[in-house]
A and B are shown apart, each in its own frame.
Chain A
Amino acid sequence: MRRVAFPAPRAQQQQQTPLFTNAKLRLAAVIIVACSILLALPVVLSGFLLDIAILILFWSYLGSAWNILGGYTGQFSFGHAAFYGIGAYTSTWLLVRHGVNPWLGMVAGGILAALFGLGMGFVSWRYGLRGPYFALVTFAFAEVLRLFANNWEVINGSLGLQIPLIRGNSWLAFQFEADKRPYYYIILVLLLFATLLTYVLFKTRAGFYMRAIREDEDAAAALGVNTMRYKLLAMAISAFLTALGGTFYAQYLFFIDPGIVFGSHVSIEILIRPLVGGVGTVLGPLVGGLLLTPLSELTRTLVRNPPAFIPFAHLLQGRAGLDGILFGLLLVIVILFIPEGIIGSVRKRLDRHHGGHNRADREL
């Protein structure tokens, strides 16, 4: 019998990647500079500007949370108000009725929202809901929660809950009436955490599976990805983070009611920023938040008390709806002209220039 000589397995060719490429170094530098600016910002900001800065971070954070489910995993949720409301109501109810520390309430709300999300996700995906059907069902779930909260006496129904105020700043009580800067740092930490999590997720196996599900769910399933498990994972993370934001909001404004936290406008506000910035990109929600939040706050202020130096501005006085018109227009324009969002279209352009070599930039 002839012996067949099999060629010895060739040693796996190790790809030599230098620890720091130029692009990576540049990226690190950018991140360090950005972080130090963000850390130093409250020192110079106060009053209205500080409020806006907090809101920018806040909505960017919620956008990042949504992005994990809606962007990476491609499960377009239209009902994130559900998680947001659960977070706000859990911590506030525990605080008002049982005197539980809001920090604990925050975690409890996050866990509860994650559980709710797991239940909702499991039922929806078990019955094969995808795309617009999934969007509709998440929307319906959020509306059911709103109506339910409206009628539930235990959480004070449609009257809402008021958080008892204390004077001055207290980290323990999560209230900073005297100086709002701590709010800024809290939401900054949350945002950095969410962004980092998204970035890390991008690199892990789970993150690849999630993107595979987004690109082609059937193909992913055929290749052995447990699609249900990874969709549920994305749902749980996204719901948990969104609920933390809900608690933050409650502790920031001290009043919640079912319309404010469960209303469909919350879901829209949450998803519009990643949409404008770029769905499924790490930086998309941040860019979207940075653009849209000041825009909507400024229009609101402009309508409330128009500045004298702009001619005809007094005609705007009390004209409700201007900010909404602007938002609606912006949504239409973004979808028509930059459907991939700002980051998405910038990346496309970069790819064209660099022939796709600029990997570090692409990963954001």
Chain B
Amino acid sequence: MYLTRWPSSTRHIVKATAVAIGLLMLLGLLGATGRDAMSDWYRTHALVLRQSLISGLLIGGVYSLAALGLTLIFGVLGILNFAHGTLMVLGMYLAYLLFAHLHIDPYLSLVLTIPALLLVGAVIQLVVINRIMTAPAHNQLVLTLGLALLLENLFLAAFGAEPRAIRSSYTSANLFVGDTLISLPRVYAFVIALLLGGLIYIVLTRTDFGKAIRAVAQDREGAALVGIDVASVQMMTFGLGAAAAGAAGTVIMPFFTVTPTTGATFNITAFVVVVLGGMGNVPGAMLGGILIGLVEALSAAFLPGSAKQLGVFVVFILILLFRPSGLLGKGRNA
């Protein structure tokens, strides 16, 4: 498994995005001047469309970071980590505690939550995951599920079911671009998430440690043969993945409320992103996160009721069926 290989179709994706943006701009021009039904629809929905594209893009960056952790774990350890969303919630509660008791700004608290989650992840891998590395896939799945259940209910016992939130000075700070409203904390979250994602990417591609991780992902035995300590690489990778999830949880805390079960939703989203980007593909997860953010925001704006997730799930099933190696992957049996 090549962790950091860019999806073979990246060029096409970039082209398609450029074409899509061009079409949208054209549509905007036509919509502003045209008289037909299509233009009418566009005029009435233009603001909603722009608004949801922006918010989808911004939250998509956070999904990218969370999914990056998940895909890293799958790529290196071959484990579907169903506790990933719960680790993200752990990051959220940590940020909440640090803010509520020590008045540490959530963005600043990243300095504490990232090492904390790194440690938690490494310990979980060392104590539990390490023992099931060769177990059948469904046993691995159930084990992480048990971990998720355990953590989720620990949160419930510790914090209760009521939602917790951080309300800081910039929680409701907004920026207007034209008539489109952009929430500032979401911008911060997006930027930090992308920076951290980029950092992990650089670590993977430019450092010896990253090279070791990629070697283990490609061929476990081969890596051991050339003297890489596979067990410790796996432990660190799980820690890194958990830290990515925790960081994603921390940065959304200023505009998000957390309950013990918040993790389930994020978990599913992260899985969809990972499958979309190709399981075990880091750049794929980054691109997939943005894409799923957009799909979610658009279906929230234009589908009725609680059908927001429905759009995501339909995408999920279609991807699983027709391109299980990922939308950006090489095709069916890659």
**Contact B149 A136, beta carbon cutoff 8 Å:** no
Residues 109-143 of A contacting B (Cβ, < 8 Å): 123-124, 127-129, 131-133, 135-137, 140-141, 143
Q: Which A residues are in CB contact (< 8 Å) with B154? A: 321, 325
Q: Are B324 and A127 in contact (CB under 8 A)?
A: yes
| Chain B residues within CB distance 8 Å of chain A | 80, 128, 131-132, 135, 137-139, 141-143, 145-157, 160-161, 260, 264, 268, 271, 275, 304-307, 309-310, 313-314, 316-317, 320-322, 324, 332
> Is there an interface contact between B321 and A124, defined as CB atoms closer than 8 Å?
yes
> Separation in Å of the A174 CB from the closest CB of chain B?
32
* A interface residue count range (under 10 / 10 to 19 / 20 to 34 / 35 or more): 35 or more
Q: Which chain A residues (334-351) contact chain B, with CB distance < 8 Å?
A: 335-336, 339
B316 to chain A, nearest CB (A): 5
A143 touches B80 (CB 8 A): no
- CB contacts (< 8 Å) of A319 on chain B: these are 157
Q: Bound state CA distance, A264 and B309, in angstroms?
A: 14
Across-interface contacts of A282 in B (CB, < 8 A): none
- For B142, give its contact among A141, A143, A264, A335 (CB under 8 Å): A335
A-B pairs with beta carbons under 8 Å apart, 19 shown: A76-B137, A123-B321, A127-B321, A132-B138, A133-B320, A136-B320, A137-B321, A143-B313, A144-B313, A157-B305, A264-B264, A268-B145, A268-B149, A320-B157, A324-B156, A332-B128, A332-B143, A335-B135, A335-B139
For the residues of A in contact with B, the DSSP-based class is helix
Bound Cα distance A308, B213 (Å):
55
Contact between B146 and A335 (Cβ–Cβ < 8 Å)? Answer: yes
Min CB distance B14 to A, Å, is: 28
Given A136-B275, A324-B149, A328-B147, residue A129 in contact with residue B307 (CB < 8 A): no
Asked if A322 is at the interface (CB within 8 A of a chain B CB), the reply is yes
5 closest pairs, A vs B, by CB?
A: A331-B146, A328-B150, A324-B153, A321-B156, A328-B149
Q: Which residues of A contact B135 (CB under 8 A)?
A: 335, 339
Contacts of B150 in A (CB 8 A): 324-325, 328-329, 331-332
Given A141-B317, A331-B145, the answer on whether A322 and B324 have CB atoms closer than 8 Å is no
Known: A78-B141, A336-B131. A328 touches B310 (CB 8 A): no
In this complex, what residue of A is CB-closest to B324?
A133
Cα(A124)–Cα(B306), bound, Å: 26
Alpha-carbon distance A268/B82, docked complex (angstroms): 12
B16: shortest Cβ distance to chain A, in Å? 24
Q: Which of B80, B138, B332 contacts A128 (CB 8 A)?
A: B332
A151 at interface by CB-CB < 8 Å: yes
Given contacts A136-B275, A336-B132, contact A147 B157 (CB under 8 A): no
A162 interface hit (Cβ, 8 Å): no
